[in-house]
Structure 1
Amino acid sequence: MLFFVFLSISCWMLYTAVANMTDVQHLVACLIAISYKHFTPGSNIALSLPKRVQDNNNPHATLALNSTINNPEDSLPLELQRMAVWPITVFRHCDESPADSFDGKRQESHKSYIIVVYSEEEDDVTEDVAEQLQFLSYSASWNPRARFVVTAVIKAQLYDSQETAKNLLQEISLWKIFDVVVIVKASATHNTEKIKNDIQNFQINTWFPYQAPDRCSNVHEVTLLESWLMEGKGRLSKNTNLFPNKIKYDLNGCTITAATFPVDIAVGPYRYVDKNDSTATPSVTYESGTEVRLIKSVAEKLNLTLRFLPPPSKNEKWGDLAEDGTFTGLLGDVVYGRADVGFAVWPLHPKLLVIMDATKSYLGDDWVWWVPCAKKVPRWKSISMVFLPSTWSALLVSVIFAVVIIPCMVTREPSELKIYRNCGNSVSTVWATFLGVSIPRMPKTVPVRTFLISWIWYCLAINTIFQTFLISFLIEPGLQHQMNSLQEILASEKKYGYNEWFDMVVRDTEDEFSETILRNRVACNEGNEPPCLDWVAHHDNFSLLCSRALLQYILTREYLDKNGKPLICQAGGLFFPVNYVTYMAKWNPLLNRFNDIITRLLESGISDKWIESGLYLQRVHARTSSRRVGVGEYYDISLEHSQGIFAILLPGTILSVMVFFLEVFYHMFSLK
């Protein structure tokens, strides 16, 4: 009998303990249930608590398993840790920065956040959560793309739970946090869900962006996803998914603002859009360009309304850090929120990723050095190019040797003809033989005749080789030397330059000449101002570091010779690679959707097709025609090809006439 009495008392005590669970205990149980279902096991949970919850003076701590918590309100960290599923990092809002604030070291981003807000009145909740979010944002592990659970405990008895949730979600949306639920206890006067015997509950609310053109990134209405029923140990009423994918592929015509400026092949010219409202912000539109077509395709696939800002003023282009500490150009438009995206063949750079997000790279490019193409050797030099200078020197020495050796041999042969005893006649004989011209009389003696025959054979071999290559050099004399490396460019002491906005990229290269290049470079801006391309193509006094794709595009219509061949050539290999991206405002929720569409466009090959069609149109507009001579095709030898011959003939003729008149005058005066 006593046993049954004891059992009844024990059951009554257990029922009483369960039935008398406090609101805080139910809230802890609710958070534990949500964490277990929706947080990835093993990922770090960031738990943000207000000052009054944590008595430890350390604002940033990781709780150990043997932590002791005295108050029921402090049971959440211990309960999460006891489950041994996630490491817990506790943050307490204070005037100091988090211990893992930005210190140059890479930190692992948090994947889940739980933010607990305590407030006396309804109006203080929003301010409290804003302060905690600001404090969390100072951490290097800050990640607005994580899953957030924000719970608000209000001690006041009368408040509007739905309005409180809406105000909290509005504040949270300002931090670009979209995967978020807000837990608020249903107020006594606005409890919209009473289940069985007037049971109270915690309402789990969220909101959905991009529902209509006028309901995009601002909170207009709150959606009740789930309720925690405060009966017994508590339970979720519907067991629904609290973190559905809120960014769909159909964004219902919401507006996205883009910042760019005209760049060859990537972004075409713009025109202003007429608006009926004169007070509205001016906007422009772009119709052509590979990047413009890409961004328009992404916007079309996501059902976004694309709007363009006017190009940056004062030639700010991509932008930089101004003296007053502000950002200019496209950089300022994106960072300060005037534009959602910015593009204009903008290279991916690690320093920019600190203040902006970047899409997947959709165009790879190489930056190389460009120099004047080697000019053709003047045709009047063609004869001199048949042999190397050393060979011409050897031929001259052999002629002098033959002129000297013949008189020496004749002195030992008394029966030899007198014409070979004279030095002048010896020169004439040797030179005539060298040119393949007959001599007046052959020598009589065997030694002289043997030497002369050997000399004739030698001259025949030289003449055969000379005549074989002469025609080739008359038709195509070849090209002069062209610089083919950075070392040659620097050694030439000619000026060089590139777009000044790429200083930071050049500075990051591992090339040993980077400092020298940065110190002496000339700024070459868009629109060929100053005319750097003209200096390279027409004046041969400049070298340019530029995009290979851009120069190939320009050379389809400009800087071509009369045969349609480019006047600007690449020198050496790759200087540094570049990947072009579209930059977005930091933590933009559309980043993943943009990357998905860009990936599909790249895999389809349509972006390459756009580039090829752009180059083809440029070639059509250029209307260049070049006559290509195939192997084995005949040439018509013209007077132009004979410049080298006349370059020797005319001086020789003038010299002959002068010698002739000198002989005439000599005989005239000698007879007197």
Structure 2
Amino acid sequence: MLLLFSPVVLSDVSIGHNRKSWQMTRRHSRGAEQVVWKRNISEISVSTEMNLPFSAPVSSQEEVREKGRHFKKVKEQLKRTEANNHLSNGSIATSNPVLEALPLDGAYPVPVTLPQDSASLVDLLLHIVKSQMEGCHILIAFDQGFKDIYDVFSLRRLLVLPNVKQVIYIESTEDLESILWTWNQCQGFIFLTFTTPALLLFANSDLDLWNYQGRYIFAGSSSENLEQLVASQKGKKTENIIGIVKSGVPGEWKIYMNRLFWGGGIQKISAWKNGRFSVNVDLYPDKTFNLKGAQLVITTFKWEPEVMYYWDENGNVLFFYGIDIEVVNTLKGAVNFTVKYQEPPKGEMWGDQLANGSWTGMMGLVSRDETDMCFPLYVSVTRLGILDYTTPYKLQKSCFVIKTEPPLPNWQALSYPFNPWTWLSILVGFFISGTLLYLFAFGSRQFGEEIGALNNLINSWTYTLGLHLNEPQAYFPKQATTMIYTLFLWLYCFILTIAYSTNLTAFLTVKKDPPRMNTIKDLQESGISVTAASGFYKDMFIASPDSSLHELAKRYQVLDNQDEIFQRIRNGHSTYPENEGYLEFIIQTKLSKKGVPQARILQECYALHSAAMALQKYSPLKRRFDQVIDGMVSGGLIRRFLIKTLDTAKTTKEYGNNEQIAEDEEETSGNLVPLSLDHMQGIFFIIIVGWILSALAFAYELMI
């Protein structure tokens, strides 16, 4: 049941509700006479302006008697109203219990003074709201247990504060569900509850209905009930909780605070009596700025270069290192906590969503609050319902790794200096040049004698071939026409042979790759399968508008054995989708032979992903961790973490003891490379072809 109250006055409200009549009794406390009002219930209808004034103590006994006489008249009037409405004495209408509990000015006598415990409690609540919740939206909730023990009339002192207020009477969890849990400003929550089953049930259900950044006050419950609230699913993720419990001393209230990561449970921090605290403390300290050495459970697994293991000679893990581990180490130093690492169940890694909606692997552990944090992983919309992400600290492309196509044979290097169109142009130029030389020589004979090497077309082509091969000729044309033509032909052939020979040297020492796959469409048309360690990318392929990715999703396989995945890549049977940084790392460490990469990254990548750490849903650690991670990113530390990881990896046997790589690096680091038989196989191919053609020509001559 819910009402919203304006700060001071509620005007012109027509209300049908249970009005409490007040019966005056006397009691003696500390030798001074006090007046306490007991209440009877009846039904009246009121239409009036409601001002909620503060009560004031009565200055004299005569004034008390005067108010008593006035009260008798009111009581008789209420009885007549009760008879007219055919209501039995003591009936309660619950259509508006909040207003039913708060008296209206002038309707019946104001109590002489508040009961000592109620007054002290309200003074404490006023002090906390004014000092800790200034400008906040305030919710006040109370139950029947509180009404039965304390004077709810006293709550009107809270309603005159300038805060926007929400007031509810708790009968069931449905009343708590009606609360406006989110607000565009800070929120304070005051729960005055003595019977807590509904509140405890609500605190362990539907995590979305709660304000985890709000400031809470639970007053009236026992310390045992307060422990249960703090340990509930919502309470253990709420940073700011204050408990107020009645002590055995009149007017004194004990103050408890939830410890959160500082040891769990609650801790008594002060007491309130006579308008002041026994010990002045910060009621709502920042409990995540310094975790005071609390131990956090972190779930992860080996995933280079984010998470790596440093092994000793006996195969034991000495320590963890990697980019994500360095992020955690920085968080440890800034927030002051310790870490206990654990791995997900074998073979589950990140985990998958089951048909019943639950998750396996790391996702299952963090969704069930069995781990405080887990990584490595991408920010994914499909996981937002079960966890919270920290601020992303890496942006990476997702790509495919495939087997590197073997280079073309070195004997083909003889043709590499020119592309096919250039070779065709040279061939056409050769025949045209030889033919023109023959025609010019034939025409020049009319003016005089010409050399015999140009007396027929075959000899002219042979002479032209010699020029192309940069071979000196024994005879030079005699006539001016053929001399001029031959001079320019020599110049043409000289430039051509220089260009060929200089490029040939480079191509003999550098292997040339064949035409290869560069796009996702090429990959899809190749027919090879897609193998990965989880189904994460398959869901991404299916959701993508790219038809080629849809086809790849049909050939998607999940293998939990990375060595088997790498072997399938080496054999050219599969491709492997992952982030670009990880693929570059495994190519250098897992997919290379004698320093030569056996795999490469497909030129076209398909998605950008943000890498972050996963926390429990509504974890109070997120705010502080985000602050520290933002500082790492802006300071450029993530790149430094990668360099540190690679330097550490070089000192291990697993990644750094590769003598062949060192030899290859030394060989190619500025030293000359001698030409081997592999480099020069093309010239042997030519001489063999010459032998074969010569033998065929000889056989033909014998036959003739």
TM above 0.5, yes or no, is yes
Structure 1 position 36 matched with structure 2 position 130: yes
Structure 1 partner of 2:192: 116
Counterpart secondary structure, 2:679 = helix
On the 8 A contact 1:357/1:586 being kept in 2, the answer is yes
Cα 1:434–1:546 change in 2 (3 A) is: same
For residues 25 and 469 of structure 1, the distance between their equivalents in structure 2, rounded to whole angstroms, comes to 98
Instruction: Give the whole-Å Cα distance in 1 for the aligned partners of 2:501 and 2:127.
Output: 96
Residues 350 and 363 in structure 2, CA contact (< 8 A), matched pair in contact too: yes
- CA change 1:244–1:604 in 2 (3 A) is farther
- 2:244 alignment partner in structure 1: 183
In the TM superposition, residue 384 of structure 1 has moved relative to its aligned partner by 0.9
Return the alpha-carbon distance in structure 2 between the equivalents of residues 604 and 355 of structure 1: 30
- Cα contact 2:288–2:620 (8 A) shared by 1: no
Match for residue 84 of structure 1 among 162, 168, 175: 162
| Structure 1 residue runs without a partner (length 5+) | 1-5, 55-70, 120-124, 153-160, 195-199, 230-234, 272-283, 667-672
Once residues 554 and 47 of structure 1 are traced to their aligned partners in structure 2, the CA distance between those partners, rounded to angstroms, is 59
Question: Per residue, is there more strand in 1 or in 2?
Answer: 2
Match of 2:344 in 1: 311
1:217 has 2:260 as partner:
no
Q: 2:426 aligns with which of 386, 395, 410?
A: 395
Cα pair 1:330 1:342 within 8 Å, conserved:
yes
Match of 2:214 among 146, 151, 157: 146
Deviations 1:92-122 (CA, angstroms, capped at 9, x unpaired): 54548846899xxx975863212232x5xxx
Q: Deviations over 1:538-583 (max 9, x none)?
A: 4456543323332343344333343x24333344477544444443
Change (3 A) 1:285 1:472: closer
Specify the alignment match of 1:548 in structure 2.
Answer: 580
Counterpart AA for 1:652: G
**3-state DSSP class of the match of 1:182?**
strand
Counting only pairs closer than 5 Å after superposition, residues 453-472 of structure 1 correspond to structure 2 as: 453-472=487-506
Residues 274-313 of structure 1: per-residue CA shift (max 9 Å, x gap): xxxxxxxxxx987333355765786698776654555314
* Distance across 1 between alignment mates of 2:675 and 2:59: 123
C-alpha contact 1:346 1:582 (8 A) present in aligned 2: yes
1:620 aligns with 2:643: no
Deviation at 1:655, TM superposition (A): 0.8
Contact 1:496-1:542 at 8 Å conserved across structures: yes
Shift of the 402–541 alpha-carbon distance from structure 1 to 2, 3 Å rule, reads farther
Which residue of the partner structure matches residue 328 of structure 1? Answer: 360
The reply to whether residue 646 of structure 1 matches residue 684 of structure 2 is yes
> Can you list the C-alpha shifts for 1:373-415, whole angstroms capped at 9, x where unaligned?
5754432122211222112111211222234445555665467
**Shift in Å at residue 255 of structure 1?**
5.2
Distance in 2 (alpha carbons) for counterparts of 1:584 and 1:459: 73
- Kindly state the Cα deviation for residue 645 of structure 1 after the two structures are TM-superposed: 1.9
8 Å contact from structure 2 (residues 541, 553) kept in 1? no
Q: Is this contact kept in 2: 1:130–1:172, CA < 8 A?
A: no
C-alpha contact (below 8 Å) 1:553/1:615 kept by paired residues: no
Count of aligned pairs between the two proteins: 584
CA distance in 2: counterparts of 1:241 and 1:169, whole angstroms: 20
Distance, in Å, in 2 between the alignment partners of 1:515 and 1:91 is 56
Matched, 1:656 2:680: no
Q: Who is 2:271 aligned against?
A: 226
How much does 1:322 deviate?
1.0
Provide the secondary structure at the position in 1 that maps to 2:285: coil
Q: Does 2:513 match 1:473?
A: no
**1:245: how far off?**
2.7
SS in 2 for 1:114: strand
Residue 228 of structure 2 aligns with which residue?
Answer: 170
How far apart, in 1, do the equivalents of 2:187 and 2:429 lie?
A: 87
Counterpart Cα distance in 1 of 2:560 and 2:321: 16
For each residue in 1:15-45, what CA deviation from the matched residue of structure 2 results, as whole angstroms up to 9, or x when unmatched?
Answer: x96752256566445433321121141x333
The separation in 2 between residues aligned to 1:516 and 1:341, in whole angstroms, is 33
Which TM-score applies when normalising by structure 2? 0.68
Residues of 2 paired with 1:432 and 1:242: CA distance? Answer: 99
Say which of 60, 73, 81 aligns to 2:152: 73
Letter in 2 for 1:263: W
Q: 1:635 to 1:318 in 2, by over 3 A?
A: closer
- 1:128 is aligned, of 198, 202, 205, to 198
The 3-state SS of whatever aligns with 1:346 is strand
Q: Structure 1 residues 542 and 445 mapped into 2: Cα distance closer, same or farther (>3 Å)?
A: farther
Instruction: Give 3-state SS (helix, strand or coil) of 1:330's partner.
Output: helix
Q: Which residue of 2 aligns with 1:383?
A: 414
Post-superposition CA distance 1:567-609 (Å, at most 9, x none): 3334447754444444333344555666677788887958556
SS state of the match for residue 169, structure 1?
helix
Q: Where do 1:478-497 residues align within 5 Å? A: 478-481=512-515, 483-486=517-520, 489-490=523-524, 494-496=528-530
CA distance in 1, matches of 2:682, 2:300: 55
In structure 1, the residue matched to 2:299 is 259
Query: What amino acid maps onto 1:148 in structure 2?
Result: Y
Tell me the C-alpha RMSD between the 2 structures.
Answer: 4.7
Taking structure 1 as the reference length, what is the TM-score of the superposition? 0.71
Q: Conserved in 1, the CA contact under 8 Å of 2:118 and 2:154?
A: no
In 2: Cα distance, 1:47 partner to 1:630 partner: 77
Q: Deviations for 1:319-358, whole angstroms, at most 9, x for unmatched residues?
A: 1221233221112222223333333x12333543432234
Question: Which runs of 5 or more structure 2 residues have no equivalent in the other structure?
Answer: 1-57, 68-108
In 2, are the aligned partners of 1:97 and 1:135 still within 8 Å (CA)? no
Kindly state the Cα deviation for residue 654 of structure 1 after the two structures are TM-superposed: 1.6
The alpha-carbon deviation at position 473 of structure 1 amounts to: 2.6
Distance 1:490 1:423 in 2: 54
Which residue of 611, 626, 629 maps to 2:645? 611
Give the letter for the 1:113 counterpart. F
Distance 1:465 1:609 in 2: 43
Q: Give the superposition deviation at 1:243.
A: 1.8
Amino acid at match of 1:146: G
Distance change in 2, residues 1:402/1:128 (3 Å) = closer
Moved more, 349-358 or 649-658: 349-358
CA contact (8 A) 2:138 2:190 kept: yes
2:379 and 2:610 in contact (8 A); partners too? yes
1:45 aligned residue: 138
Q: What secondary structure does 2:270 align onto?
A: strand
CA contact (8 A) 2:389 2:612 kept: yes
Tell me which moved more, 322-331 or 478-487.
478-487
Q: CA deviation at 1:226?
A: 2.6
Asked if 1:583 corresponds to 2:617, the answer is: no
Secondary structure, counterpart of 1:288 in structure 2: strand
Which stretch has the larger CA shift, 589-598 or 460-469? 589-598
